[in-house]
């Protein structure tokens, strides 16, 4: 990427080499290939970034709640899908396996926070049952995951 050779000629109008003139290194850097590579990398990262969010696709309910502060550790996520499947992160589990698997996973983690994602079409009773099972299993720090921009219910028309 870099250096070329400039002929040591006088005036710059003549073409060809001049006798006795030595070649000196060019002290300018050609940045065009560097910019090209950076633009390609930028496009790659812009396309790949949305694909890095791993999760089970569910239609989360919309609320006016604000986002929780981010933590350094990836959150432990329980997902209840529209067809009633129960997932830990992206692994499907049965109701009987939920608490034993969570205890095994939680033993290796620093934080005790568990996020519960439930499809908006799921009955409230099913969500409450999963929350009750988590609570009975010793998981007391449970956060419900929702989408933003829901109704504010404060008369502001949002």
State the pLDDT at residue 111: 78
Q: Which residues contact 99 (CB under 8 A, 6 or more apart)?
A: 133, 134, 136, 137
Task: Read off the pLDDT band of 57 (50, 70, 90).
Answer: confident
Ordered DSSP codes for 15-84: -SPPTTPPEEE------HHHHHHHHHHHHHHHHHGGGG-------PPB-SPPPPPP-SSPPEEEEE-TTS
- Residue 72 predicted with pLDDT over 80: no
Q: Which residues pair with 7 in a beta bridge?
A: 23
- Number of Cβ within 10 Å of residue 56's Cβ equals 16
Check: CB of residue 62 under 8 Å from CB of residue 148: yes
State the pLDDT at residue 58: 72
The answer to whether the predicted template modeling score (pTM) of the entire model surpasses 0.75 is no
Distance, in Å, from the CA atom of 158 to the CA atom of 155, rounded to the nearest integer, reads 8
Using one digit for the tens of pLDDT, what is the confidence trace for 99-135? 899 888 888 888 778 889 998 888 888 989 999 988 8
């Amino acid at each position: 990427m870099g250096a070329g050779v400039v002929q040591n000629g006088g005036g710059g109008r003549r073409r060809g080499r001049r006798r006795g003139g030595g070649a000196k290194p060019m002290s300018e850097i050609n940045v065009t290939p560097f910019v090209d590579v950076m633009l390609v990398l930028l496009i790659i990262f812009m396309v790949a970034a949305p694909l890095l969010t791993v999760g089970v696709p569910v239609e989360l309910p919309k609320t006016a709640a604000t986002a929780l502060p981010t933590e350094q550790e990836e959150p432990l996520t329980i997902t209840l899908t529209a067809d009633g499947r129960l997932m830990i992160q992206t692994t499907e589990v049965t109701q009987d396996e939920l608490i034993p698997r969570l205890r095994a996973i939680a033993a290796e983690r620093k934080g005790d926070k568990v996020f519960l994602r439930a499809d908006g079409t799921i009955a409230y009773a099913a969500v409450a049952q999963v929350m009750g099972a988590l609570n009975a299993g010793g998981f007391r720090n449970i956060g419900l995951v929702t989408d933003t921009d829901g109704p504010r219910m404060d008369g502001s028309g949002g």
